[in-house]
Amino acid sequence: MVGSGRTAEISVQETSYDRRSELKAFDETKAGVKGLVDAGVSKVPQIFIHPSESSGHRTLSTSKNPVDIPVIDLEAIDKDPIKRKGIVDKVRDASETWGFFQVINHGIPVGVLEEMVAGVRRFFEQDIEMKKIFYTRDVTKRFVYNSNFDLHTAPFANWRDTFFSYMAPYPPKPKELPEACRDIMMEFSKQVTSLGVSLFGLLSEALGLKTDHLEKMDCAEGLALISHYYPACPEPELTLGTSKHSDNDFLTVLLQDQIGGLQMLYQDQWIDIPPVPGALVINIGDLMQASFSFISICILSFLLNFQLISNDKFKSVEHRVLANRIGPRISVACFFSTSFQPSSKLYGPIKELLSEDNPPIYRETTVNEYLSYFYDHGLDGTSPLTHFKLSISNDKFIGVEHGVLASFKEPRRSKMVYDRISELKAFDDTKAGVKGLVDAGITRVPRIFHDLRDDSDKTLPVAAEGKFRIPVIDLEDVHKGPPQRKEIVDRVRNAAETWGFFAVVNHGIPVDVLGEMKDGVRRFFEQDVELKKQHFSRDYTRKFGYNSNFDLFSSASANWRDTFSCVMAPGSPRPEELPAAFRDIIIQYTKGVMELGNILLELLSEALGLNPNYLKDIDCNKGLTILGHYYPACPQPELTVGATKHTDNDFLTVLLQDHIGGLQVMHQNQWVDVHPTPGALLINIGDLLQASHETLVMLISNDKFISVEHKVLANRTGPRVSVASFFSTNLAPNSRLYGPIKDLLSEDNPPRYRETTVRDYVAYFNHKGLDGTSALLHFKLNKKALGLKPNHLKNMSRAEGLYFIGQYYPACPQPNLTLSLSKQTDSAFLTVLSKTNWVAFESTMKNIDGTHIPGAITLITSGKFERVYHGVVATSPRISAREFLKIKMAARRIQEENDSDYDRQSKLKAFDDTKAGVKGLVDAGVTKIPRIFIQEQCTKVDDRPASNEPNFNIPIIDVEGWDGDENRRHNIIEEIGGACKKWGFFQVVNHGIPRNVLEDMIDGIHRFHHQDVEVKKGFYTRDYTRKVLYNSNFDLYRAPAASWRDTLTIVMAPNPPNPEELPPICRDILVDYTKRIMALGITLFELLSEALGLKPNHLKDIGCAEGLYVLGHCYPACPEPELTLGTRKHADSGFLTLLLQDQIGGLQVLHENQWVNVTPAPGALVVNVGDLFQASSGYNFDPILHYGTQAYCEHKTVISNDIFTSVHHRVLAKNIGPRISVACIFRQPLLPETSRMYGPIKELLSEENPPVYREITVKDFMALRISTGYDAIFFYDKII
């Protein structure tokens, strides 16, 4: 026990205890806990003391009948079915009741176990200088040694040192492992992997699933080996070897020596798990737990938590390791998970285990998301699983933690149906904002403003008055001399690291300017509403706009405020564009804020140890947006907020507030009131600057500075006025990448965020809205998924012999009479079958159709695993041996580039900076396509066979006479309706545009792309607010692989560019062709309206023909067309597309699960139904659903309510070219002001045909598309 003297000593130390400095000093020794013991410490340093554990809050079992965890004998699991069933029953019982069990006769020799323990001991007890070579906190390294992975984030450090290495699926090279334990690590990992497969088989059967179910879910694919060294501790009652936690994987296999100390929590008591000679401890992980007790979520990875996928059927139990006076204790934990691979695979309760009586308890998640949450929280004594639990309504319990029950009561529902979208729209249409509601005399806050978020910050305390005060920094002496400036820099550094908020006085902006700026904001909002309405807009490309809640239609609840936004730099608005109410003062105030911003950025640069001009030189001061907020008095402030909890999406914010108050910042888990200080300005670190501290830190400072969460309360008094000035580059066309500042990075301080442009960051922030979460999380690096090399198969010791057979299956005229491969089983140990086309690969014993999964391989086993009869059905041609060899060579090229630390982001940027596009590569004579263009897995995405069947030709419709004879018009309408319903694609001839105009248009685009590159560069940009732009791949930095094409994009309607803005080389034909396309488009919208049973002008009247985007594509000849695509699979985002293509071909559409060539027809135009059109038609036609689901080959359109099909299509790369095409996309423009909502057309809806999609604006629809790129196959879920 601890004596009173030691307790008093600790208490005295706490008064002057600088925890951060002590942690840093300990970490910098690189000697770990063993270094302390070797130095002869007789008292545990304070950073290791665990107050909660020393108080004995949970007792050790002292029953006369001690509880022993199950020990299961695995002998004969593969030989005797009866014994196997008994073992499965024991595993089930242990997993459900305990979550822990030990196994003996597991197949790993005792000699291997003992040598593994000895190898770990050798590593930790070798010369300290040898160990230091491996000491790092960069977890992307292949081998990592340190003490406490969460040293700087956990409340208390643990008494242990650790090394870990990812051993599968991509093991390190032998030379990357320490010599002291190299050989045994490789051997032990191999043996544990084999045991893991057996254990997953037993657990699958214990869940009532097929033996290989969990293995097929990749639960055994990743293996991390973590070795712990627990030195003897002089005061074990004050600390722990490992804090209470549950494992963040699917399954853990633990080898421990004979000293003991491991305990698990069972029935609220800590139970010892005594070492059993030759045994291994098996521990169910969090990811496994979620599919058992409510049987089944989706086995994410035994360590990631078996509990998750078993739906709580299996238990992921909390456990800990005690510190001990004797030692060292050694253990080796092997974690099975998929977390070490970049994967978007979702894991959740296993579907086969769910029912009405056993609904899912957890939501689906990726392993990466789960681990990110786990590592953010460290070993804090709570289970990460609670974060992924689904809320259960009707007063059912949704969580149990330490005996405290948490329940959720569903709000009472009104008898009237609440139509939130209609209420939002009605409020927005008034253009009077929140002030309009107050002026109308409301006494109750409308429901759209009710803050219904179930957030923890609502229950967080408000700090007692006087307990905290944000720092106030006097800038008067900033230019006086080095000593005074250094003092100010130190204060700025401390405030930025500790608070993220501080106030400045004597900043150089006169008090009367501050007062007049606030008055100007007040004058604007309190002027006649009709004057304000002139500025009301949701077009955020405008320099000045006023509205209420920028995220009104996407946020969970609206905020009680109105706002104007004004972009003052770069390129400030003309004076006449600014409202007269504050025109003069905002110009004067902006000058003062820009000067202050430059000073602050200099001070922050110096605070980071950088050159004073560093942050200015990377353009942090180039953009300035001023937001004037007006918070009217609120009749029920307890029901809403003025601004939801958020962090700012900029580099730096300068805030001017009036005397009313209401601003609060989060500090030490409490809300702190920021009281107004006369004459002061508040400075707020933004997300983009946060990057090197421990908690909420900034992107480029790598968390050094804090971008702190803050909010504004609603108030019964008012109005409150504030002016926020945001320093950012988000509205300036700029492709500069921002990320952690290189000068701040080191081995001990690796980058925490990926690079991004300010534009992409702000786009994500605006799309997300003020939802109470930080946008920074979206850009955090998951270090578990970086730096792995694909050499796993190469290192398989049993893969000694290899036969390569390239098979070619020609098209068969009567495939029903023959087979391409007779029923057989394979004679080898393992067959790896790469199916690069969509063919019917059949397993007759299992009745499986082995349809191709993109990028996947089929494994056909024989020997002691079950052999399966299989065959190949005769069908259309498969891949040639020559093409297959090319693909294998590309795979080797990727591996070689991986081995030389391939930096994809740098390659993309280098390509983009040339501004010469794909044509520039071809002109330079490339003979191999660069890696950035190679599709993942070295095959074309969804490479299903192109069909040559006569029934698979897209319709060609002659529209001549559409406006003449009624019968002729009726027949054309029926043909168009049938084509839109079945195909979503058709070609039109005799459309009224002369053949010579079509040819001139093709020639004009050809001339543009083939003119001198320096002339083209004048149009090269990634600023999509411009009306004329040229670049290569709009989604270059987001797509998994770039496409082999360059594009000229022009917004031709409703407000076309000035003639001088158009490229001279194709100016005249662009104008002429566009006029003709607009006329044809109106005709087609009339015919489509009638095909839907509507009036001819219906689609035209709802704005479908208002906007026109013209895209001129150039597809240069490709030296390796089998490795890339001209355009990846996608569906078009507009209402309708009219495509003009030359005679080279390459366009394919997906129809009935096959790619169909769209052969160019002379004089024809291809017509393509877009995503937005698909959702308003209803079910007057029966939608075609192939293979039981539309997901294989089609999207349904939004306004047709799934009557018309928006079909997937792509363009192949070809070794001839260039191919030229001109796509004219009818879509409501994004630049002019519009908030029109699109959804299923009301006239098409009925009780039998209810709406399938919710209403959405074109702007919001396009934001979804752009944020996900061409990969948004199922992004319709977001608008359903």
pLDDT tens string 569-600: 988 889 999 999 999 999 999 999 999 999 99
Report which listed range, 526-535, 615-624, 1200-1209, is most confident.
526-535
What mean pLDDT value characterizes the chain?
A: 78
505-534 mean pLDDT: 96
Per-residue pLDDT of 909-920, as tens digits, reads 999 999 999 999
Average pLDDT over residues 241-251: 82
Mean pLDDT along residues 1020-1040 = 91
**Res. 973: pLDDT tops 90:** yes
Strand order through the sheet with 985-989: 956-958, 985-989, 1165-1169, 1136-1141, 1219-1226, 1108-1115, 1046-1053, 1028-1031
CATH superfamily of 981-1177+1193-1230+1251-1268: B-lactam Antibiotic, Isopenicillin N Synthase; Chain (2.60.120.330)
Segment 1237-1252 mean pLDDT: 67
Say what the pLDDT of residue 676 is: 92
**Those residues with Cβ within 8 angstroms of residue 462's Cβ, 6 or more apart along the chain or in another chain:** 664, 670, 671, 672, 673
Beta bridge partners of 652: 685, 727
Q: What is the DSSP letter of 697?
A: B
CA 442 from chain center: how many Å?
41
Is the pLDDT reported for residue 1003 higher than 80?
Answer: yes
Q: Alpha-carbon torsion 1249, 1250, 1252, 1257, what sign?
A: positive
Residue 778 has pLDDT above 70, yes or no: no
Residue 527 has pLDDT above 70, yes or no: yes
Residue 963 has pLDDT above 70, yes or no: yes
Contact 528, 581 (CB under 8 A): no
Poorest-pLDDT segment among 40-49, 102-111, 368-377, 943-952: 943-952
pLDDT interval class at 606 (50, 70, 90): very high
Which H or E element spans position 287? helix 286-289
Task: Provide the pLDDT for residue 1065.
Answer: 95
Give per-residue pLDDT as tens, 680-711. Answer: 999 998 876 653 333 323 444 454 566 789 99
Q: Taking residues 951-965, what's their average pLDDT?
A: 86
Q: What is the CATH number of domain 20-52+99-292+305-387?
A: 2.60.120.330
Residue 779 three-state SS: helix
Mean pLDDT, to the nearest integer, of 1048-1065? 94
pLDDT at 877: 42
Q: In CATH, what class is 458-729+749-778?
A: mainly beta
Predicted confidence (pLDDT) at residue 438 exceeds the cutoff of 90? yes
Is the confidence at residue 120, as pLDDT, over 90? yes
Asked whether the predicted pLDDT for residue 509 surpasses 90, the reply is: yes
Q: Are 1221 and 1113 a contacting pair, CB within 8 Å?
A: yes
Residue 1184 near residue 1195 (C-beta atoms within 8 A): no
Q: Which residues face 832 on adjacent strands?
A: 859
Q: Which of 108-117, 928-937, 1177-1186 is most confident?
A: 108-117
Res 144: pLDDT: 95
> Cα separation of 1047 and 1028, whole Å?
11
Cβ atoms < 10 Å from Cβ of 505: 14
Q: How many whole angstroms separate alpha carbon 1123 and alpha carbon 882?
A: 13
Least confident of 480-494, 569-583, 665-679, 755-769: 755-769
Please indicate, yes or no, whether the overall pTM of this predicted structure exceeds 0.85: no
pLDDT at 1126 over 90: yes
Domain boundaries, the chain: 20-52+99-292+305-387, 458-729+749-778, 881-937, 981-1177+1193-1230+1251-1268
DSSP calls for 141-154? SSEEEES-TTTTTS
- Identify which of 230-234, 753-757, 807-811 has the greatest average pLDDT: 230-234
Interval 774-800 mean pLDDT:
48
**Is residue 770 predicted with pLDDT exceeding 70?**
no
Res. 1193 pLDDT band, cuts 50 70 90: very low
The segment with the largest mean pLDDT, out of 520-529, 533-542, 1132-1141, 1220-1229, is 520-529
To 10 degrees, the CA torsion angle through 810, 816, 819, 823? 150
Instruction: Indicate if 981-1177+1193-1230+1251-1268 has the same CATH topology as 458-729+749-778.
Output: yes
408: Cβ contacts below 8 Å, ≥ 6 apart = 391, 392, 393, 395, 396, 398, 454
895: β partners: none
What pLDDT is stored for residue 781 in this prediction?
Answer: 65
The per-residue pLDDT for range 855-875, each reduced to its tens digit, is: 344 444 333 334 444 555 554
Q: How much is the pLDDT for 905?
A: 87
Mean pLDDT (whole number) for 722-749: 70
pLDDT, tens only, 1084-1104 = 999 999 998 889 998 898 888
Q: Which position has the higher pLDDT, 1117 or 788? A: 1117
Contact call for residues 1251 and 1020 (beta carbons, < 8 A):
no
d(CA 1010, CA 1016) in angstroms, rounded, equals 9
pLDDT computed for residue 81 by the predictor: 92
Of the pLDDT bands very low, low, confident and very high (cuts 50, 70, 90), residue 836 is very low
Average pLDDT over residues 1000-1025: 93
Highest mean pLDDT among 139-153, 422-436, 1231-1245: 422-436
pLDDT over 90 percentage in the chain? 48
pLDDT number for residue 408 = 24
942 against 1075, higher pLDDT: 1075
